[in-house]
Amino acid sequence: MKVLVTGGRGLLGSAVVRELVQRGRDVTVLQRHPSGAVGVREVLGDVADPAAVARAVAGCTAVVHLAAHVSMVGPWEEFERVNVHGTATVLAAARAAGVDRFVQVSSPSVAHVGEPLVGALAQPADPAGARGNYARSKAMAELLALGADQPGFAVTAIRPHLVWGPGDEQLVGRIAERARAGRLVLVGRGTALIDTLYVDNAAEALAHALDRCHLPDVHGQAFVVTNGEPRTVAEVFGRIAAAAGAAPPTRRVPFRLARAAGAGLDLAWERTGRTDLPPLTAFLAEQLGTAHWFDQRPARAALAWRPSVGLDEGFARLADWFAAG
């Protein structure tokens, strides 16, 4: 199987590329900057550039579309250009090139409207209800992708939830940095249960999705994938901090205050056009203050997959990685 992976450079992208190469797939990657990945064909370019995408997908039979503009802030136009138009471009090029399997990497946030999610099933993507530009653009992208599912062009959307692992600069990096600086706070009492997903498990889930996305009950569907081990926010933060050799968080911000502060910072960033990350956003406050964990039975059955790295093992590997500097 010749597979195009878009956005193969980040934490998850590089893990997926490694996983596919290991499984003997012939992998091409498309991204804007050289990745240095071994054993793959590399095409440099933007997912919203039809010519670059057509070049990359030529000769492939399968696509893992991972490239996205990921940020908690920033103007809508950039999210729309990369996440919405980029997905449309990759879908069109894939069909033109004769690809028959397409895995859209999505996000549970496409269906999260701020309520607690307790053992929830994957709900349909909802651009109108999604919180923030990123979630809205990814919701539109998922609808585009699943809408393209048809005989001969099987599309499955996979929504990995809170991917983390050694080298992660988003969740792990920020928590470790703040914990070391003594600035790590919990929203509310930190008792909300959240699902997370160790990066190697995410990569395996995507590889399984690629193998099975042509099957009935798999194509045309969206699946949330997680480790299936929900833990409290306090424990997740505490164990990441511990792996980084820092003290667990002891300070708390009441939920309403955190959300109000996040909303204020959102507004300030929007007015001033800042593109760096604010210390808190309303979306983040909600994410850290409300439960969001998922019923993993549909994903495990459809993908014939179970996470191979449990949370305990994942945190141990994270500690080793920190210790190795």
User: Hunting for tokens 């299936």 — which residue is that?
Assistant: 228
What one-character DSSP code corresponds to residue 85?
Answer: I
Measured from the CB atom, the residue of 13 and 238 that comes closer to other proteins is 238
Q: Which of residues 248-287 bind other proteins (CB under 8 A)?
A: 248, 255, 286
Measured CA to CA, the distance from residue 72 to residue 279 in angstroms comes to 10
**Of the residues 47, 120, 155, 244, which one makes contact with other proteins according to CB under 8 A:** 120
Binding mask 222-251 for other proteins (x = CB under 8 A): ------xxxxxxxx--xx--x-----x---
The beta strand positions in 60-134, using DSSP E, are 62-65, 101-105, 117-120
Helix (H, G, I), strand (E, B) or coil at 14: helix
Min dist CB 113 to other proteins, Å, is: 8
R_g (Cα) of the chain, nearest Å: 19
Choose, from 79, 134, 164, 293, the residue flagged as catalytic.
Answer: 134
Instruction: In angstroms, give the least distance from the CB of 56 to other proteins.
Output: 38
- Cβ proximity to other proteins: between 27 and 192 the closer is 192
Q: Are 3 and 210 in contact (CB under 8 A)?
A: yes
Q: Is 289 in the site for other proteins (CB under 8 A)?
A: yes
CA–CA distances in Å: residue 273 to residues 29, 70, 148, 181: 32, 17, 35, 27
Between residues 61 and 232, which has the closer beta carbon with respect to other proteins? 232
Query: Which residues make up the interface to other proteins (CB under 8 A)?
Result: 114-120, 188-193, 228-235, 238-239, 242, 248, 255, 286, 289-291, 293, 295-297, 300
Q: Which residues are catalytic?
A: 134
